[in-house]
Structure 1
Amino acid sequence: MDEAPVSERCYQCFRPMSLCFCEAIPRIDNRTDVLILQHVRERFHPFNSARIVKRALGKCQLIADYTQRLRTQRLPIGPSSVLLYPDKNAPLLTELPVGELPQQLVIIDGTWHHAKTIFRDLPQLWQLPCFRLRPTHPGQYRIRREPNAHSLSTLEATVGALRALEPDTAGLDQLMSAFHKMVNGQLEHPEFGSAWRRKEPGQSRPRNLPRSLMQNAESLVVAYGEATPGKPGENHRTSTPVSWVAYRLGTTERFSCLLRQQQPLSDAALAHMRLSLADFEFAVADDEFHQRWNEFLRPNDVLIVYHRRTFQLLRHIKAVQPRCLVLKSIFGKWRAGFRSIEELIAIESASLVNSKPNCENNSRASQRLDMAVALVEHLRTMYGKLQ
């Protein structure tokens, strides 16, 4: 039989038809419910193994989403649940007494970075008893990079856990055979190691990211400010703030304030900011802005802005100025060729949909705040070093 063209793809295993292994996946009647929390970037990865687990197990739920969204969901975690997580201080799952076997096993699926991020950012997982496995053989996930030789794929970890909890369950060996078929089929593929894992020219990774950018999300406040339009040849430091919006990551907290102006803004300035004169009915004086801004901030907050001129607006009206990070400077250390936040969003392929902080209006400030939030979450997700 002729090999199917690579363009033909199985949309169950997301592999080329010539490498499809769906028929080898058994149906397993497991007794322990398995809940897989999957980072959304793994959802359509062709080498993802959680998808195989979901297809094989009779009792299995797979929830794929970004960490921030998972945090706001009511996850279907039962009263008798344990978390399988490779914490070196966690007890071994194999040593759990028979009378204390859980009814549900919670597993995190993603890269090692994604797994640590999900565990760190989901308080619901902190309450669960945590157990680990002790692999007796190196992991067989040879088509993806792992932190060490004994790191296990989600499928290998799930099979190992079920073997410990319900060793008499049939089909686990067949599931491992299907996994080996996927791995070996890919290793034998003529293009593996070249086209499959080729690094695109021009890719780069950030250097020396600020550690404070990777701290607790709720201590990070992303902000954007609009100022009065300057006159030709006028120093931008003389501009006065018009609008100030901010968003606290990891929460739904949003700050939005218009400042009272000494002179009415021109129609052109209002159109540029996507504001109207009616919007300024509730504008506040500098003193009231100071009070509101102080109430919004927390002692250990780090302010994140796209351009340093945004931060200087706070200085202009003598408002509280937390520690500040400037996105343009951070990206500029390794990313060249962008002239605006819009261009940087396009270059980085940062998603605005997943980061939109519940805008109250369609003003230019709110839109650009969305962009800044998207860039911060993109940095934390894609490039952040584990703390």
Structure 2
Amino acid sequence: MTISLSAAPPAHVLPHAVSRLRTARLARSAKPFLARGGMRGERCAACRVMPSHCFCHLRPALDVHAGVCLLMADIEALKPSNTGWLIADVVADTFAFQWARTEVDPALLALLADPQWQPYLVFPGEFVAAERVVTEVLPADPTTGTGKRPLFILLDATWPEARKMFRKSPYLDKLPVLSLQSEQLSRYKLRRSQRDEHFCTSEVAALCLALAGEAHAAQTLEAYLDVFTNHYLKAKQQQPLDLEDAVHLQLSGLRLVE
């Protein structure tokens, strides 16, 4: 099935890092990207669902002090179900780079060396030498300007791809590895892992934000994922939206305290 996007995002929605990476990846494609099991017809360029189910007007505007760096597998930015896109919607300082085994974007290396950031590579601790593993984040204090801002590096890929990316990215070898400890089961319903404890990318980002002391941003990202899932599935099933249901009210309540 060919994905058809409108020519440009709505005027009030500026393209973010994942959107720009997607555009660049499409420009290198010799043929249209085919999404398995997706909906047919036109999609909004800014939220990737059918215009009738567009949720651009629900995009949160938050002041988030932490940053997120997405290293994305080859076609990840092209997938309509990708949730790294949602992180970039919510977290202004989201950076996105295409991962390649044989080369590294110089802009990525510059970001990792930027003294304002403390990078954390987010990955399960059982696959890492114990001396690299951390389970807590030292958040910077935006009111005093002390400390480095946390930058969470997420490998946005399937689990087999992420393990390969981890092994074959020597420029990440010196970074502390943040191993998340959570009893929460994944609620993501679009591309389910065979293991419930495997989170989708935006769920991982929400857990990281919570560790950085940004509880409101974490809760908002979780609620935004639920709204995206709702709109995506309703569009795919050709069902009407209920903007007063639980997921919409949850996000609306969080937006009122932005």
Do the structures match in fold with TM over 0.5?
A: yes
Structure 1 contact 82–130 (Cα < 8 Å) conserved: yes
Alignment partner of 1:53 is 2:50: no
Structure 1 gap segments, 5+ residues each: 193-387
Structure 2 gap segments, 5+ residues each: 1-38, 141-146, 239-258
Q: Distance between the aligned counterparts of 2:119 and 2:217, measured in 1? A: 23
Q: Distance between the aligned counterparts of 1:142 and 1:31, measured in 2? A: 29
Percent of pairs with identical residues = 22
The 1:59–1:21 alpha-carbon spacing in structure 2 relative to 1, beyond 3 Å, is same
Find the partner of 2:228 among 182, 193, 204.
182
Q: Distance between the aligned counterparts of 1:98 and 1:9, measured in 2? A: 38
Q: Distance between the aligned counterparts of 1:161 and 1:176, measured in 2? A: 12
Q: Distance between the aligned counterparts of 2:105 and 2:93, measured in 1? A: 23
C-alpha displacement at 1:167, in angstroms? Answer: 3.0
Which residue does the alignment assign to 2:62?
A: 28
Alignment of 1:299-378 (within 5 A): none
Deviations 1:319-374 (A, max 9, x none): xxxxxxxxxxxxxxxxxxxxxxxxxxxxxxxxxxxxxxxxxxxxxxxxxxxxxxxx
Alignment partner of 1:150 is 2:197: yes
Structure 1 contact 39–114 (Cα < 8 Å) conserved: yes
What TM-score do you get using the length of structure 1 for normalisation? Answer: 0.43
Alignment of 1:110-125 (within 5 A): 110-125=157-172
C-alpha displacement at 1:60, in angstroms? Answer: 1.4
The 1:92–1:136 alpha-carbon spacing in structure 2 relative to 1, beyond 3 Å, is farther
Alignment partner of 1:83 is 2:121: yes
Which residue does the alignment assign to 1:372?
A: none
Structure 1 contact 71–123 (Cα < 8 Å) conserved: no
Q: Distance between the aligned counterparts of 2:149 and 2:177, measured in 1? A: 11
Residue 128 of structure 1: SS of its match in structure 2?
A: coil
Q: Distance between the aligned counterparts of 1:69 and 1:191, measured in 2? A: 41
Q: Distance between the aligned counterparts of 1:20 and 1:120, measured in 2? A: 38
- Equivalenced residue count is 186
The 1:190–1:60 alpha-carbon spacing in structure 2 relative to 1, beyond 3 Å, is closer
Residue 29 of structure 1: SS of its match in structure 2?
A: coil
Alignment of 1:115-264 (within 5 A): 115-167=162-214, 170-189=216-235, 191=237
The 1:54–1:13 alpha-carbon spacing in structure 2 relative to 1, beyond 3 Å, is same
Which residue does the alignment assign to 2:30?
A: none
Q: Distance between the aligned counterparts of 1:190 and 1:31, measured in 2? A: 35
The 1:35–1:15 alpha-carbon spacing in structure 2 relative to 1, beyond 3 Å, is same
The 1:67–1:20 alpha-carbon spacing in structure 2 relative to 1, beyond 3 Å, is farther
Output the aligned Cα RMSD. 2.8
C-alpha displacement at 1:184, in angstroms? Answer: 2.7
Q: Distance between the aligned counterparts of 2:106 and 2:93, measured in 1? A: 24
Which residue does the alignment assign to 1:104?
A: 151
Which residue does the alignment assign to 1:273?
A: none
Deviates more, 1:46-55 or 1:72-81: 72-81
What TM-score do you get using the length of structure 2 for normalisation? Answer: 0.63
Q: Distance between the aligned counterparts of 2:82 and 2:108, measured in 1? A: 25
C-alpha displacement at 1:105, in angstroms? Answer: 1.8
Q: Distance between the aligned counterparts of 1:6 and 1:137, measured in 2? A: 33
Q: Distance between the aligned counterparts of 1:175 and 1:96, measured in 2? A: 19
Which residue does the alignment assign to 1:17?
A: 51
Q: Distance between the aligned counterparts of 1:132 and 1:72, measured in 2? A: 27
Structure 2 contact 54–231 (Cα < 8 Å) conserved: no
Q: Distance between the aligned counterparts of 2:105 and 2:165, measured in 1? A: 9
Q: Which has the higher contact order (CA 8 A, sep 6+)?
A: 2
Query: Which letter maps to 1:26?
Result: P
